[in-house]
Chains A and B, each alone.
Chain A
């Protein structure tokens, strides 16, 4: 459950990774902007680069979900409940003609089990950039353009199969990314701010205040999160949508999730306090607040970014774990966690294995984010 708490891994974020000792000998590099250096360093982590691209792709898909998804996630076809994935054929008798084949099922009278038979005759043409189901992009721009799909709404088009209500898994996975990739960000951001501010104050002012904050952190980290989730999940107002509920909980959790980062920031500040440019700023009588934001934060902004990148996969996985316990998002909201809830059954593994595709989506993005985060952190402090 720890995974939910943003920055739970912040302890592992390490500064000072010099860029091979040439920089230490070179004046010119000191002139080069910090960001340029980070970029240079980052480029060396090939897998991180790849990860970055994957993550980018995910967010783009999420942003234009309506376009990438063949149909809306609520669209269902009652005759294709638990329909297995269709294979996408590109050629037919020699020439390029993307299509899928129609299929139909026999239901066993006793076990109610469906056996699907592909009908070679029924050829369903698949078109790219075609005009299908209309939608409002971001609730603003009316459009009906879809990347891939079949123009005929009656015909089955289930690249990744259909779920228990005959809804297209592929489309649902795409729409899920909208929630799964964003819902935790609020919490992450919040605990980020809290972590920096509180940690900063603690590190800058020190003394009894610092001591108090340390106690507070000690208390907060010793409270297991599972009970909190259970308690919070139960007390929300009835008329809240599942999304609001989940958001509320993540926010509240972020109120205790900042401790990890706060510790890092604090120690960072303690060391920074001694450094010349801060002293200088002090002597010039720069007010605390401005000092934090103009002088100190930039000096380690880079790890904060890395930390956030590493907090996101935690949040994605947290969402699935909570859905498993029935505490996370709930239908009709569609998220990867909600989709995986369907797969927690032996019968699914045995009979409808394609329902596991959301897991693949998760694994890929979590890996990508982790490598991205690692790369960023490696690049974080080139000096």
Chain B
């Protein structure tokens, strides 16, 4: 077991290193840089253009005039030595990329948590039901409902929800907080307010996720249901429900455990679109803006953090799986 963990850890570091290379490369791919964008932004709103001198000057100021490998080296050494991921160009006063990301994470986590909750609450029962009652009308109806969420493009769903709240409840549900409370420090009221606004994004993101889970659960369970040990248990005289949950469901859960690790990064990436439409102060849009503005340290830092989260997540869920499944633990 410990040997296993050690090996995995080593791999992990290697992976992360490669990812730093990749994420930095990705940022450098597009033509132009932050300064080009800045000017473009001005042109877009105003039609005013910058004189070349100022660009040159800006590039110098942001260190964009150096060759890429130098930039990468500086970036890395800052991360390793100073723990600094580099300041954002866009946000002012300049903030360290990771601070920015970290700032948005609590909300992101809350959102992800509730979405996840919704997903599981909807998907697992449906999945189990439609496996146990395979090909029954119930099966069809349940899965149909489960898939609807997947089939509707989520940005549309979000926009429609928002419009409905405006049209029929008089108040469009925008963002995650009411205007008056948004700047207040965290308090019980703020939390309640959050919950009131949370439902649209949770529903939108959640419904999108259910289908996959239903499918997995259904398939895994169908798989387990005809394993001999089920028959053994039945021959013992166990009640069907007890039997179902103690044996096949328990087994069918394992594949989920192995994916838990990716859920957060997945949601962060997946939530971007919804967050943009619903104007949520989550980390997704920060990433998106950073990429659009070529705010390279934030973008690179973000990709790095996301990837590392994934890697660690995978690692953890492998361990968790090992803990849960004796076969892995003991062999």
Contact = CB atoms under 8 A, between A and B. Distances in A.
B272 to A, nearest CB: 6
Contacts of A364: 151
User: What class of interface size applies to chain A in its complex with B?
Assistant: 35 or more
Interface in A325-376: 325, 340, 343-344, 346, 349-350, 356, 359, 362-364, 366-367, 370-371, 374
Nearest to B311: A222
Interface size class of B (residues with CB under 8 A): 35 or more
Given A218-B15, A359-B156, A18 B226 contact: yes
Contacts of A377: 219
Interface in A123-153: none
Contacts of B22: 219, 223
B269 A225 contact: yes
Choose among B18, B255, B268 the residue with the greatest number of A CB atoms under 10 Å from its CB.
B18
Contacts of A223: 19, 22-23, 26, 303, 307
A226 B31 contact: no
Interface string A207-230: 000000001001101111111101
B269 A2 contact: yes
Given A12-B215, A222-B311, A223-B19, A234 B31 contact: yes
A367 B14 CA distance: 41
B115 interface: no
Interface string A154-197: 00000000000000000000000000000000000000000000
B283 to A, nearest CB: 11
A378 to B, nearest CB: 7
B19 A370 contact: no
Interface in B140-170: 140, 143-144, 147-148, 150-156, 159-160, 162-163, 166-167
Contacts of B166: 346
Interface string A68-105: 00000000000000000000000000000000000000
B11 A215 contact: yes
B303 A374 contact: no
B188 to A, nearest CB: 33
Interface of A: 1-3, 9, 11-18, 21, 44-47, 215, 218-219, 221-228, 230-232, 234-235, 310, 313, 317, 320-321, 324-325, 340, 343-344, 346, 349-350, 356, 359, 362-364, 366-367, 370-371, 374, 377-378
12 contacts: A9-B215, A11-B216, A47-B143, A219-B15, A222-B307, A224-B306, A226-B272, A226-B291, A232-B29, A313-B150, A350-B167, A356-B156
